[in-house]
Structure 1
């Protein structure tokens, strides 16, 4: 019976997963396909206008030039501007790239073009990604040891419960502001994006999705400070570390706020919440998901 239950649950989860993917595909197609077609048509119109204005060029020469531009873009060279554009491989940019490798963000706008660089990138990621995982797991271990002291939360006084819950809520609020709300303001100011675009970049980055449609420090018409992308890499590391700490804290804070609200609503109820009220048996530890 247990195996039958697990099999049916696995099948249901698989079907739900596939349905979620199908739903996302349908919505993305509905939202983006028409805009892509318009952009494609507009590009073809611009090519025809260019050939009409410069009759010395033929279709083959123009297509060859477009191919050269695409190859330069694939190698991380911005086709706008000139040869005086800042290097993509100075130390600050290289540090930023190293951070995107070990965190598996991989924007895709920049990659090694030499065979030696590609081979080194393979071995660098081979050792760097596990090191990154160990680092965040170590943070989770530290949090786990801290939460071990909180397992007696339900046996403490009501004043202690309120102070502890407010402290956790304050930690979540400050982290959200410093790592998710404030950085998009900076990116919007420096890059000339809207706040929505900056927030979109921040979320796509810290979730390690890394589409590469928005990347900081790539506009050749702007003069960035030398450590700009290095600071962005530090923000990425801190943001990922904060998320690793927040994931187990969020449900805990919500549960305790609900319990404190129930205590205020019914002052005659018991002051503490035991393991049974938590929905956990006495020996069960608090779950930590890193």
Structure 2
């Protein structure tokens, strides 16, 4: 395991690591953009075939064919690739790469197959515990081919795991939004139930003075119960703020869906004539471009 020992070597590592890690993140983002574009194109092609097959089967005459074609175009325009399918495909790709790499590490390094799988996840996720390290033996058979294969597997595995982590984060946020909505509904139901019980008991609102309640509609002796309405108005601000919070959390999910739809519309080709450099379409690079005003799309 090569590590710097001198002060100039450590200083060089700091600068090299800074720009090297930044370049690696850019490379992973560009890989994420390309693989998402490819998957969106494939999923859109499959969806188009399904829509056309169903449209032809349900249209016996020419007029109905025209109507079905127009409906198909509208449905294709509104269609967006599913994040769950993209996550599943990336997961399958990461498993295939990890299993292929483990098949190489298992006999060469003398590890068990589970240890090789464990090393692949730790290395591909850039965790790097260091408990399992490759190329530590004195001699290897076909050492140059082994080192080249090790390099290829680690690069491809890191790209797949990085893309999988980004897409999985969107799915986790969707689950958290769903959980917050469930909690919000329960809290709303409990609040309305408490208000109903308070109204049934005829308790006076602690905020509204009694003489103001009795003066309602110009009648001094009529005692009007404002408890349920005033409590609802007091709680309405909290409920609206919770809805705004949930809506704000959905922005990133909608952004991911919108980016998937845009990439599926563009297909495999990108129009870089209007851009001045690298413009990430999906993932953290797209978020940075939108926040910094670099994305013209």
**TM-score normalised by the shorter chain: which range applies?**
0.3 to 0.5
Which of the pair has more CA radius of gyration? 2
Query: What's the TM-score once normalised by structure 1's chain length?
Result: 0.42
Larger RCO, structure (CA 8 Å, separation 6 or more) = 2
Which structure's residues are more often helix, by fraction? 2
